[in-house]
Chain A
Amino acid sequence: MKISAETHPLTHTIDAKRGPLDLKGYEKVGGYEGLRKAIKELQPLEVQQRVKDANLRGRGGAGFPTGIKWSLVPMGPDAGAKYLVCNADEMEPGTFKDRLLMEEAPHLMVEAMIVAAYAIGACTGYIFLRGEYVVSANNLNKALAEARAAGLLGKNILGSGWDYDCFVHTGAGRYICGEETALINSLEGRRANPRAKPPFPQISGLWGRPTVVNNVETLCNIPSIVVNGGDWFKGLSQGKTKDGGTKLYGCSGRANKPGCWELPFGTTTREILEVHAGGMKGGKKLKAWLPGGASTDFLLPEHLDLPMDFDTISKAGSRMGTGLITVVAEDQSMVSAVRNLEEFFSRESCGWCTPCRDGLPWSVRLLRAIENGEGKPGDIEKLMTLTKQLGPGRTFCAHAPGAMEPLQSAIKYFRGEFEAGIRAGAATAAVQA
């Protein structure tokens, strides 16, 4: 298929060999038309309405409708200082999509940060970028400087009387910074502990002011929605699902050609794995897959033909999450894979609430014992109890409940592998007795 702005709004300007376009190059292929149209022809609430019409859903993992998120922000002349924050803390294991946009299409990101800020009436925007994304930081800062010099950022943007500036804020590690209220604390220069909700950030966020936090990919959809409208956006998914747009899908793990591609929303995992990622490496069979990051439930080969969208994957017992699948081959121990996942969550817990701080290391100890064949009878039941005690509603934020998703689904589908690690342990204990 020919790649154009109409079919691939996120990636049409990307050419990895050439590198990112500068301001002139980006404007030549339609760049900043979304911004010009928004500022010259539309009121902020009209921009919000377009995003609502498109029914754009958040691409950071939760799938919350962006237009509805924005509509909770107080508007009008008395609303005071408001902030737009881009969550560019991409740290969900198995996810590598936002890096692509920021490294290769930095001006799209900058344009999106201006249009979205205009829609909610923000005075300042921050791109909260993980510290390890050095190339992204350089490319974004260069694009911001070009935009500032051209009058697209700063005072009286395009003669509209609206002042707005945007900065890159780089982090210093810790996965929890991706949780939106922890991110706000981190941005304020504090430890990245999550905050209680409500109040939601749209009412009281950064420095107690109304704040919108959106993911990189979500924001990058905004300029083209402003130019082309909601119906065009809905049509991008080609009827594969009721949600509109394209999605950066990807595949990593034991695939032949891992990568990240912009495809119609609702493309099946089979197409992603077999057509785009070239199938499983070394002719191995697929054993299980994570739909979109470490904090999503494992699914099986029988789920390959489901369209990758929020509702379908949710009905199958998992979550689409970030939409970048991780594939596990038949010769991989599931106990070892889950132990790796729980070690990650355990290390990255911020320690704020007890179930997460103490429960996650406990799950790691149990899984290590089972992996080494030293599990004791009752260990699987203990793990199952943990999936409840660390589940939704028991913790301050979604970190621990997310951690329990791959664990509960691995036990559900591959219980025999866990039992094998306990039988061996019980046998050893009997001999020693």
Chain B
Amino acid sequence: MSNTTAQPVIKLADLGKAPPFALSDQERHEIIDEMHHYPDPRAASIGALKIVQKHRGWVPDAAIPVVAKMIGTDAADLEGVATFYSLIFRQPVGRHVVTVCDSISCHLTGYDELRVALEAKLGIRFGQTTPDQRFTLLPICCLGACDRGPTMMIDEDLHGDVDPAGLDKILGAYS
């Protein structure tokens, strides 16, 4: 997917000059808590990536070897995990992530109209971020709220029976 927010360009000559990536104490504590739930700490892979993402908005490449070392797996393995799951973001996203359900029940109850209205309102397509870094727009599979289609989530909030005419009000709550 294309993205208006390109990853920072890394020049070979600059390698080694950037400060090394470090997890915050808070991130470390939360990851260790997560590891305690399992006999094999590797099971905390996805949880650890989600913790990094919670604090930074996304999972930068440089985080992978650091997290991998912490949970006792290698960077290539964790990279494979990080790129498999659709809700682990490997590029910067906006301050708010809008995920629109495009599965069958919403398809039957107004998904197309909602998508068109969102794209027009935000001026972006799926996979893109608004120039002011406020919203990233993504498709998502069935949100399990089919009785309230069409549905979408903004960050951790579920919105059901979304009327395209009421989008201003919904989006206005996310600055």
Contact A94 B105 (CB under 8 A): yes
CB closest chain-A residue, reference B53: A172
Contacts of A336 in B (CB 8 A): 107
User: Does A326 lie at the interface of the complex (its beta carbon under 8 Å from any beta carbon of B)?
Assistant: yes
Contact B80 A188 (CB under 8 A): no
CB closest chain-A residue, reference B71: A189
User: Does B162 lie at the interface of the complex (its beta carbon under 8 Å from any beta carbon of A)?
Assistant: no
Contacts of A413 in B (CB 8 A): none
Contact B40 A290 (CB under 8 A): no
Contacts of A190 in B (CB 8 A): 42, 45, 77, 81
How many interface residues does chain A have, given as a range? 35 or more
Which residues in chain B, 36-52, are within 8 Å of chain A measured between CB atoms? 37, 39-40, 42-47, 49-50
CB closest chain-A residue, reference B108: A253
Contact A258 B147 (CB under 8 A): yes
CB closest chain-A residue, reference B44: A189
Contact A91 B142 (CB under 8 A): yes
Contacts of B80 in A (CB 8 A): 191
A97 to B123, CA, bound (A): 35
**Candidates B37, B44, B142, B148; contact of A94 at CB < 8 Å:** B142
Contact A348 B108 (CB under 8 A): no
User: Does B145 lie at the interface of the complex (its beta carbon under 8 Å from any beta carbon of A)?
Assistant: yes
Q: Knowing A172-B49, A174-B84, A252-B149 touch, does A344 contact B37 (C-beta < 8 A)?
A: no
Contacts of B22 in A (CB 8 A): none
Contact B147 A260 (CB under 8 A): yes
**Candidates A94, A99, A133, A191; contact of B81 at CB < 8 Å:** A191
Contacts of A98 in B (CB 8 A): 144
Contact B40 A344 (CB under 8 A): no
Contacts of A96 in B (CB 8 A): 144-147
Contacts of A167 in B (CB 8 A): 37
Contacts of A90 in B (CB 8 A): 144
Partner-contacting stretch, out of B2-10, B23-31, B85-93: B85-93
Chain B 135-164: CB-based contact to A (< 8 A → 1; otherwise 0)? 000001111111111000100101000000
**Candidates A189, A207, A350; contact of B45 at CB < 8 Å:** A189
Contacts of A173 in B (CB 8 A): 85-88, 140
Contact B46 A290 (CB under 8 A): no
Which residues in chain B, 102-119, are within 8 Å of chain A measured between CB atoms? 102-105, 107-109
Q: Knowing A175-B141, A191-B84 touch, does A332 contact B108 (C-beta < 8 A)?
A: yes
Contact A93 B142 (CB under 8 A): yes
User: Does A95 lie at the interface of the complex (its beta carbon under 8 Å from any beta carbon of B)?
Assistant: yes
Q: Knowing A254-B109, A294-B103, A344-B103 touch, does A171 contact B42 (C-beta < 8 A)?
A: no
Contact A341 B104 (CB under 8 A): yes
Chain A 203-232: CB-based contact to B (< 8 A → 1; otherwise 0)? 000010000000000000000000000000
Contact B144 A132 (CB under 8 A): yes
User: Does B133 lie at the interface of the complex (its beta carbon under 8 Å from any beta carbon of A)?
Assistant: no
CB closest chain-A residue, reference B101: A93
Known: A94-B105, A130-B144, A170-B50. 10 other contacts (CB 8 A): A132-B158, A172-B88, A173-B85, A173-B86, A173-B88, A174-B84, A189-B42, A189-B43, A189-B71, A329-B108
Q: List 20 A-B contacts (CB under 8 A).
A: A93-B104, A96-B147, A169-B43, A171-B85, A172-B46, A172-B86, A172-B87, A173-B86, A186-B46, A188-B43, A189-B42, A189-B46, A251-B147, A253-B104, A253-B108, A326-B104, A326-B146, A337-B104, A343-B102, A344-B103
- In the A-B complex, the 8 residue pairs with the smallest Cβ-Cβ separation, listed nearest first, are A189-B45, A252-B146, A173-B86, A93-B103, A258-B147, A173-B87, A172-B85, A93-B142
Chain A positions near chain B (C-beta within 8 angstroms) = 81, 90-96, 98-99, 124, 126, 130-135, 167, 169-175, 186-192, 207, 250-254, 258-260, 290, 294, 324, 326, 328-329, 332, 336-337, 340-341, 343-344, 347-348, 350
Chain B positions near chain A (C-beta within 8 angstroms) = 37, 39-40, 42-47, 49-50, 71, 73, 77, 80-81, 84-88, 99, 102-105, 107-109, 140-149, 153, 156, 158
